[in-house]
């Protein structure tokens, strides 16, 4: 028996942790080699999954429906890795799975850490999914800027470097000075615009505070 390819091992270990995956199996020529999930369904999936892909390609991928569920499978030589579960999630996982198995993973632009096989947790709903997905497959939450799991630097989902900056302090201070001047004029020369000013001034001040703290994202 040949050794399980490294790419398939990484695919299996990564996706077995992810949201929407109910059953994960590795089969060797149709026989159950390893599984995570319901054992009563594992042998059936292990025997059936290699038949999803025909032809003599060294590396094959398939996404099909089977008995009310969706199956994502990858075959490499004698081995097949298959996942059964939620259609939306498995469809989203196809791209990172393809890159992992092909050993073409997206890498951190700072430290070179491989990202497709890294699993992150959605800050909104707690679902786990591959780092390189644009949004959470469960709730749709999108994170534009992420931290590399290894070096902690700011990158996007494809590993590109991201600069996160705030509005220059001088600009914010200039805006505040303008508001102060307007307030001074208002109190020195009262007018019927009292009601309007009482609404406008807090609004302007809030906007200045937002400008001074809101991050600006730039992909390098």
Q: What is the 3-state secondary structure (H, E, C) of the chain?
A: CCCCCHHHHHHHHHHCCCCCEEEEEEEECCEEEEEECCHHHHHHHHHHHHHHCCCCCCEEEEEEEECCEEEEEEEECCEEEEEEECHHHHHHHHHHHHHHHCCCCCECCCCCCECCCCEEECCCCCCEEECCCCECCCCCCECCCEECCCCCCEECCCCCEEEEECCCHHHHHHHHHHHHHHHHHHHHCCCCCHHHHHHHHHHHHHHHHHHHHCCEEEEC
- Say what the pLDDT of residue 210 is: 46
| Model confidence pLDDT, tens digit, residues 73-115 | 999 999 999 999 999 999 999 999 999 999 999 999 999 999 9
| Model confidence pLDDT, tens digit, residues 8-33 | 999 999 999 999 999 999 999 999 99
What is the model's pTM?
A: 0.75
Is the pLDDT at 212 greater than 60? The verdict is no
- Say what the pLDDT of residue 89 is: 98
Q: What is the mean pLDDT of the chain?
A: 84
- Say what the pLDDT of residue 196 is: 47
Confidence of residue 181 (pLDDT cuts 50, 70, 90): low
- Say what the pLDDT of residue 66 is: 87
| Model confidence pLDDT, tens digit, residues 107-158 | 999 999 999 999 999 999 999 999 999 999 999 999 889 999 999 999 999 9
* 213/53: higher pLDDT: 53
* 198/98: higher pLDDT: 98
How do strand 21-28 and strand 31-36 relate by DSSP bridges? antiparallel
- Say what the pLDDT of residue 208 is: 46
| Model confidence pLDDT, tens digit, residues 54-69 | 666 789 999 999 888 8
Calculate the CA 128 to chain-centre distance: 9
Is the pLDDT at 7 greater than 90? The verdict is yes
CATH assignment of 6-104, given 3.30.450.30, 3.20.20.70, 3.40.1260.10, 3.10.20.30? 3.30.450.30
């Amino acid at each position: 028996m040949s050794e399980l390819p490294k790419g398939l091992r990484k695919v299996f270990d990564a996706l077995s942790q992810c949201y929407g995956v109910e059953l994960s199996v590795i089969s060797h020529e149709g026989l159950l080699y390893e599984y995570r999930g319901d054992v009563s369904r594992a042998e059936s999936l292990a025997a059936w999954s290699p038949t999803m892909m025909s032809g003599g390609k060294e590396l094959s991928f398939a996404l099909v429906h089977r008995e009310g569920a969706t199956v994502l499978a990858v075959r490499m030589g004698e081995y097949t890795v298959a996942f059964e579960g939620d259609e939306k999630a498995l469809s989203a996982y196809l791209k990172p799975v393809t890159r992992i198995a092909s050993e073409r993973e997206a890498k951190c632009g700072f430290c070179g850490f491989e990202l497709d096989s890294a699993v992150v947790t959605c800050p909104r709903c707690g679902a786990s999914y591959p780092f390189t997905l644009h949004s959470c497959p469960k709730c749709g939450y999108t994170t534009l800027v992420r931290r590399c799991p290894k070096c902690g630097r700011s990158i996007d989902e494809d590993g590109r470097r991201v600069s996160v900056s705030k509005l220059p302090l001088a600009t914010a201070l200039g805006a505040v000075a303008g508001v102060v001047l307007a307030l001074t004029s208002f109190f020195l020369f009262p007018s019927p615009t009292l009601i309007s000013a009482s609404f406008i001034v807090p609004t302007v001040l809030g906007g200045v505070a937002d400008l001074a703290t809101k991050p600006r994202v730039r992909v390098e």
